[in-house]
Amino acid sequence: MTDTSPNAPIPSAIPPVVLDHPLVRHKLTRLRQASTSTAGFRRLTRELSLLMCYEATRDLAVEPIEIETPLERMEGWALSGKKLCFVSVLRAGNGILDGMLDLVPAARVGHVGLYRDPNTLEAVEYYLKFPEDVAERDCIVVDPMLATGHSAAAAIDRVKAAGVTNIVFVCLLASPEGVAHMNERHPDVKIVTCAIDRELDDHGYIRPGLGDAGDRLFGTK
């Protein structure tokens, strides 16, 4: 039974996983450049999503199966247990979602539509849609930026309210403030990111960052 008393100890948060791979560092540097075109930004985001998906799915359960190769029978491995659901935080999360579906095409997809109030920086919901059996699935929530952490935490609130118990959050960039907020709100959720940048500015943007990921993905600014 979970101790919910006022003096209950705060559970320790799962440390964030920062991908320190040469390909990740190279592609992220190109992604950050102001001179990168919309098409280039989309391509690089998709390529990075493949690498992030590799890490985010590291703990998926597998089971042995017998298969026939062209030469003989052997024991191989197949995914087992709960199936996956990717949850995209609209709109920019779709830039990561596409690449992840390339690796796990059978995964179901959910969407959470949130925008950040420019005055309070709090997340406001405008859309929510999950698969009917989402509670029976492991979920990977994707959003390019973990800035203040309010939108990410709010999205995970919705996923947990749907009954999901195993959640990973994947983003291109995070701020120390965003990681701290997520660790406080959802210490049981692992964060997978390509980098944790220096800080947030007065407008809640990650510095040095890469700008507005949604605008750069969709060419809207």
CATH number of 190's domain: 3.40.50.2020
Give the pLDDT score at 11: 61
140 vs 15: CA distance, rounded Å:
16
Where does the pLDDT of residue 5 fall: very low under 50, low under 70, confident under 90, or very high at 90 and above? very low
116 labeled part of a ligand binding site: yes
Residues 76-132: pLDDT tens digits?
Answer: 999 887 789 999 998 889 999 999 999 999 999 999 998 777 777 677 888 999 999
- 52 three-class SS: helix
100 vs 203: CA distance, rounded Å:
30
211 labeled part of a ligand binding site: yes
Residue 206 has pLDDT above 90, yes or no: yes
70 labeled part of a ligand binding site: no
Residues 24-75: pLDDT tens digits?
Answer: 999 999 999 999 999 999 999 999 999 999 999 998 889 999 999 999 999 9
Which is it for strands 167-174 and 138-142: parallel, antiparallel or unpaired? parallel
Specify if 10 maps to a domain.
no
Exposure of 88 in the CB half-sphere (CA atoms within 13 A): 18
Q: What pTM did the predictor assign?
A: 0.89
Which residues have a catalytic role annotated?
116, 120, 212, 215
Upstream peptide bond of 73 is cis (omega within 30 degrees of 0): no
Overall number of domains in the chain: 1
Specify if 59 maps to a domain.
yes
214 labeled part of a ligand binding site: no
Give the pLDDT score at 152: 93
Specify if 40 maps to a domain.
yes
* Closest to 52 in 3D by CA, of 203, 197, 173, 158: 173
Specify if 8 maps to a domain.
no
**Structural contact between residues 197 and 16, judged by C-beta atoms closer than 8 angstroms:** no
Residues 130-178: pLDDT tens digits?
Answer: 999 999 999 999 999 999 999 999 999 999 999 999 999 999 999 999 9
Specify if 159 maps to a domain.
yes
Specify if 6 maps to a domain.
no
* Closest to 140 in 3D by CA, of 184, 96, 201, 77: 96
**Structural contact between residues 96 and 104, judged by C-beta atoms closer than 8 angstroms:** no
Token pair belonging to 163: 């009954």
202 vs 72: CA distance, rounded Å:
63
Specify if 9 maps to a domain.
no
Specify if 23 maps to a domain.
yes
88 labeled part of a ligand binding site: no
Where does the pLDDT of residue 195 fall: very low under 50, low under 70, confident under 90, or very high at 90 and above? very high
Residue 1 has pLDDT above 80, yes or no: no
Q: State the residue range of the domain holding 104.
A: 17-218
202 labeled part of a ligand binding site: no
